[in-house]
Amino acid sequence: MTAPSTSPARVRFAPSPTGFLHLGGLRTALFDWLYARHTGGQFILRIEDTDQKRYNPESLTDLMRSLRWLGLEWDEGPDVGGPHAPYIQSERRALYREYAEWLVAQGKAYRCYTTEAELEELRARGLPYDRRHRNLTPAERAAFEAEGRSAVIRFAAPLSGTTTVHDAIRGNISVENATIADPVLLKSDGLPTYHLAVVVDDHLMEITHVLRGEEWIPSAPLHQLLFEAFAWPAPIFVHLPVILDPSGKGKMSKRKTVVDGREFSPYVRDYMAGGYLPDAVFNFLANMGWSFDAEREIFTREEAVARFDVADISPKATALPFTKLEWMNGVYIRQMATAQLVDALAPYVAADLGLDAEALRHDRRLIELTPLVQERIKLLTEATALIDWAFVPATQITYPDPTQLIGKKLTATESLDVLEAGARIIERIEPFTPPALEAAFRTLSETMQIKVGSLLTPFRVAITGKTVAPPLFESMHVLGREETLTRIGNAAAALRTLAATTV
Ligand code: GLU
């Protein structure tokens, strides 16, 4: 265990809105948030949308919805504002240009007029940019301008030596400066590249810790050089381990992954719609590259905030076990108080059955059925199939296969007798409660000399239309005496028809 950090950190999540947020991105945001909260600092949301070609407007809405769903509220960001607004890079373009020009004035960056065709020629030969315009004379520059060529601003990277970046969990990462081929900082459309914008913003927004995916490791030395060129202190870098596909073989797919014949999506929105609880997803993702301790897999948000430290993040790539997420969701469902689970289930059940979610929250049937299904579901989406029978009229409970109404080792006629005997009990029993019903049906099983299991099957199918359903006497109670009798009557009629045609 590490001692809690004391100085408040400023940590940003800086996604590019190019598509729907996936679980890997959400894990980065979660670690950013955890560290900010652990240190009593700030969590900042910054939108890196300077690549206009890849911009997807739907993605921003999806991103914010997903973060809020997980409970990762940001202290500063596009919609909430903050001391360093705006937090959307395309709204900050004038700023980046200013800083790029400053580097040019200092001789640390230069205008490059190389045409797209010339660059393509280099690429075709497998060559990087050859710094051909790094030392243009004023006359040469004027000639290109006169030709009407557009210019980009490139960084004049050191031509020799090594740059070493320290990563808090990986140690030193070094590159030969000569391999940094004067990357573009400002494009000809006046927009910055990621490298310029990220460095300028991390500085201006006073970011202390950069926690981001390990795919950004190759960019870190360049960022460090840019911080040095501006004479700004660099933040602490922490490159988070990549999330692998469940097989552990490759990077998690951007499409669906198939595990044991079932499809799992990489997108957070599919978990929101798919009956997952934010607390379970939070807990699950916190285990992807960090661990609470050697034994505990299940912990609360508060416990994670209290203990989280970057020093404890493992740089090792982790496979994402989707089925474990499902299991964990079941654990969280079982831990919920009934009232909480009713609230969580209502929107799913309402959507499935075309009911009003708000009304359903207060519906006695859902309130009574919830504890009965709590142990049986791993996803909120699984409840409807177990309880839908309670929300439809008796006419909608049909028996397309009336043989299902026959108890084990019974004939159709015997099952019919059972239903009729049971109906006589239900008509009169006082009080009409699950324990009283259970006692009466046990006695019936003894009198009729039929095992309880076989005796109850006809009733289960009669009232729910299903062979697998929540506990029977509670289900009868949910329906009420009249409705229970109606359904038993309908089932008896179906059995009578069956008995008549098969005898
Ligand atoms: N905009 C980059 C992304 O889409 C952010 C990388 C970083 O955090 O520096 O992941």
Return the ligand 1 atom nearest residue 211 CA: 8
When computed from its CA atoms, the radius of gyration of the chain, rounded to whole angstroms, is: 32
CA of 225 to the centre of ligand 1 (A): 18
| Mutation pick for ligand 1 pocket among 212, 215, 238 (CB with most ligand atoms within 8 Å) | 212
Would you state the structure tokens that stand for residue 113, as one six-digit string?
């007029």
Report how far residue 449's alpha carbon sits from residue 194's, in angstroms, rounded to the nearest whole number: 79
What local confidence, expressed as pLDDT, does residue 345 receive?
A: 98
Return the ligand 1 atom nearest residue 28 CA: 8
For the Cβ of 14 lying below 6 angstroms from any atom of ligand 1, the answer is: yes
* CA–CA–CA angle 477, 480, 482 (5° rounding): 145
- Average pLDDT by stretches of 10, the chain with 503 residues: 68 96 96 98 97 86 98 97 97 97 98 97 96 97 97 98 97 96 96 97 98 96 98 98 83 78 90 97 97 94 97 92 94 98 98 98 98 97 98 96 96 96 98 98 98 97 96 97 98 94 69
**Paired residues of 245 in beta bridges:** none
Tell the residue nearest (CA) to atom 3 of ligand 1: 15
CA of 198 to the centre of ligand 1 (A): 8
Residues involved in catalysis: 254
**Would you say how long the chain is, in residues?**
503
User: Cβ contacts of residue 453 below 8 Å, gap of 6+?
Assistant: 407, 408
Tell the residue nearest (CA) to atom 2 of ligand 1: 15
For residue 413, give the 3-state DSSP assignment: helix
For residue 48, give the 3-state DSSP assignment: coil
* 3-state secondary structure labels for all residues of 426-486: HHHCCCCCHHHHHHHHHHHHHHHCCCHHHHHHHHHHHHHCCCCCCCHHHHHHHHCHHHHHH
For residue 285, give the nearest of 276, 294, 274 by alpha carbon: 276
| Mutation pick for ligand 1 pocket among 33, 50, 89, 194 (CB with most ligand atoms within 8 Å) | 194
What local confidence, expressed as pLDDT, does residue 451 receive?
A: 97
Where does 263-337 have alpha helices with state H? 268-273, 278-286, 301-307, 322-335
For the Cβ of 15 lying below 6 angstroms from any atom of ligand 1, the answer is: yes
Report how far residue 267's alpha carbon sits from residue 69's, in angstroms, rounded to the nearest whole number: 13
β-sheet with 152-155: strand ranges across: 109-112, 152-155, 184-186
CA of 323 to the centre of ligand 1 (A): 29
Report how far residue 291's alpha carbon sits from residue 67's, in angstroms, rounded to the nearest whole number: 21
In which element (H, E) is residue 227 found? helix 220-229
Question: Is 223 within 8 Å of 194 (Cβ atoms)?
Answer: no
Cα-based distances in Å from 276 to 69, 283, 323, 337, 450: 11, 12, 12, 16, 42
CA of 17 to the centre of ligand 1 (A): 10
Report how far residue 328's alpha carbon sits from residue 297's, in angstroms, rounded to the nearest whole number: 9
* DSSP state, residue 284: H
What local confidence, expressed as pLDDT, does residue 4 receive?
A: 47
Return the ligand 1 atom nearest residue 25 CA: 10
For the Cβ of 207 lying below 6 angstroms from any atom of ligand 1, the answer is: no
Report how far residue 277's alpha carbon sits from residue 65's, in angstroms, rounded to the nearest whole number: 14
In which element (H, E) is residue 14 found? none
Report how far residue 435's alpha carbon sits from residue 485's, in angstroms, rounded to the nearest whole number: 18
Compute the Cα dihedral for 261, 266, 272, 278 and give only its sign. positive
For the Cβ of 48 lying below 6 angstroms from any atom of ligand 1, the answer is: yes
CA of 274 to the centre of ligand 1 (A): 27
Return the ligand 1 atom nearest residue 13 CA: 8
Return the ligand 1 atom nearest residue 18 CA: 4
DSSP 150-215: --EEEE---SSSEEEEEETTTEEEEEEGGGS---EEE-TTSPBPHHHHHHHHHHHTT--EEEEEGG
Cα-based distances in Å from 432 to 50, 143, 415, 426, 436: 67, 97, 23, 8, 7
CA of 26 to the centre of ligand 1 (A): 12
For residue 38, give the nearest of 280, 352, 406, 286 by alpha carbon: 286
What local confidence, expressed as pLDDT, does residue 2 receive?
A: 47
For the Cβ of 202 lying below 6 angstroms from any atom of ligand 1, the answer is: no
CA of 306 to the centre of ligand 1 (A): 26
What local confidence, expressed as pLDDT, does residue 503 receive?
A: 52
For the Cβ of 414 lying below 6 angstroms from any atom of ligand 1, the answer is: no
What local confidence, expressed as pLDDT, does residue 368 receive?
A: 97
For residue 110, give the 3-state DSSP assignment: strand
CA of 455 to the centre of ligand 1 (A): 63
For the Cβ of 92 lying below 6 angstroms from any atom of ligand 1, the answer is: no
For the Cβ of 12 lying below 6 angstroms from any atom of ligand 1, the answer is: no
